[in-house]
Structure 1
Amino acid sequence: MPFPDYQFIQHSCNMLIQDELAYDRYALLNEHESFHSTLTNEQNIAYQTIINAIDKDDSGLFFLYGYGGNGKTFIWKTLVVAVRSRGDIVINVASSEIAALLLTGGRTAHSRVAIPINVVEDSFCSIKPDSELDALLNLAKLII
């Protein structure tokens, strides 16, 4: 008899991962189609660049910048529904609670990735190897 896949068992018992996979993929797919069809040319270039990096499993760091009202949050929301509709994990973090509210499933960076509140020169995130948070971060396709 074959041995069970322990990685699958660990992921299925990890509530952080289960929470990030609990979205209705079909509703997200419909939302994605609606969002994607209204992207401007500039927004679509940024969207395609990031989606292509995700598809190729390339690591990357992308900056979206512009004045308020340029559609940065809309691009993020479109990316989130695109990736989640595939059954992949997206971690939405922001520097403040108000900003985190703009993104579905958003949390402050301090609470999600264990950034200390009072940062000093030798501060570091206290994510333990082989913890549930470590597994979540390793499975994430996109961190905003």
Structure 2
Amino acid sequence: MDAVTNDICGLFFLYGHKGTRKNFVWKILSAAIRSKGEIVINVASSGFASLLLPGGRTAHSRFGLPIIVHDNSTCSIKQQSPQAELLSRAKLIIWDEAPMMHMYCFEAVDKIMKSILD
């Protein structure tokens, strides 16, 4: 919460075994930030996990990731699009089950975020 409140960019991992209430933490973080009128984007690596997050979608759907990724993969989000605007205004992006994704997915999202935020 401190990082979000003070606009400190960062990457944080929450790791825990099944049943350790990780989704509870995501829901509390989302609710606390949204209660201040800020935008939180919840994504997950699988469709089932995305259903457990408030307003959740799959990472492929939200970021326009290709199903088959490679080292030159890019997201299908266009500059000046409503999706690009949403990403640029988001205070927090929660990505559940992130370790299940290939590193090329993160590299593609990193490219689009740099492009949008420049």
Report the TM-score range of the alignment, normalised by the length of the smaller protein. Answer: 0.7 to 0.9
Which stretches in structure 2 are left out of the alignment for 5+ residues?
A: 95-118
**What secondary structure does 2:30 align onto?**
helix
Deviations along 1:90-124, one digit per CA (max 9) or x if unpaired, are 10100111000010100001111111111122111
Q: Distance in 2 between matches of 1:62 and 1:121?
A: 24
2:69 maps to a residue whose letter is V
Larger Cα-atom Rg: 1
- Which of these residues, 50, 63, 67, is aligned with residue 13 of structure 2? 63
**What secondary structure does 2:61 align onto?**
helix
Which stretches in structure 1 are left out of the alignment for 5+ residues?
A: 1-50
**What secondary structure does 1:116 align onto?**
coil
Partner of 2:57: 107
Q: Distance in 2 between matches of 1:89 and 1:65?
A: 23
Q: Distance in 1 between matches of 2:63 and 2:70?
A: 17
Q: Distance in 1 between matches of 2:84 and 2:9?
A: 17
Deviations along 1:15-66, one digit per CA (max 9) or x if unpaired, are xxxxxxxxxxxxxxxxxxxxxxxxxxxxxxxxxxxx0000001111000001
- How many residues align? The count is 94
More strand by share: 2
More helix by share: 1
Partner of 2:75: 125
- Which of these residues, 71, 89, 96, is aligned with residue 139 of structure 1? 89
Q: Distance in 2 between matches of 1:96 and 1:80?
A: 19
**What secondary structure does 1:63 align onto?**
coil
- What percent of counterpart residues are identical? 59
Q: Distance in 2 between matches of 1:101 and 1:126?
A: 23
Partner of 1:46: none
Q: Distance in 2 between matches of 1:66 and 1:98?
A: 18
Q: Distance in 2 between matches of 1:71 and 1:61?
A: 20
- Which of these residues, 79, 99, 102, is aligned with residue 29 of structure 2? 79
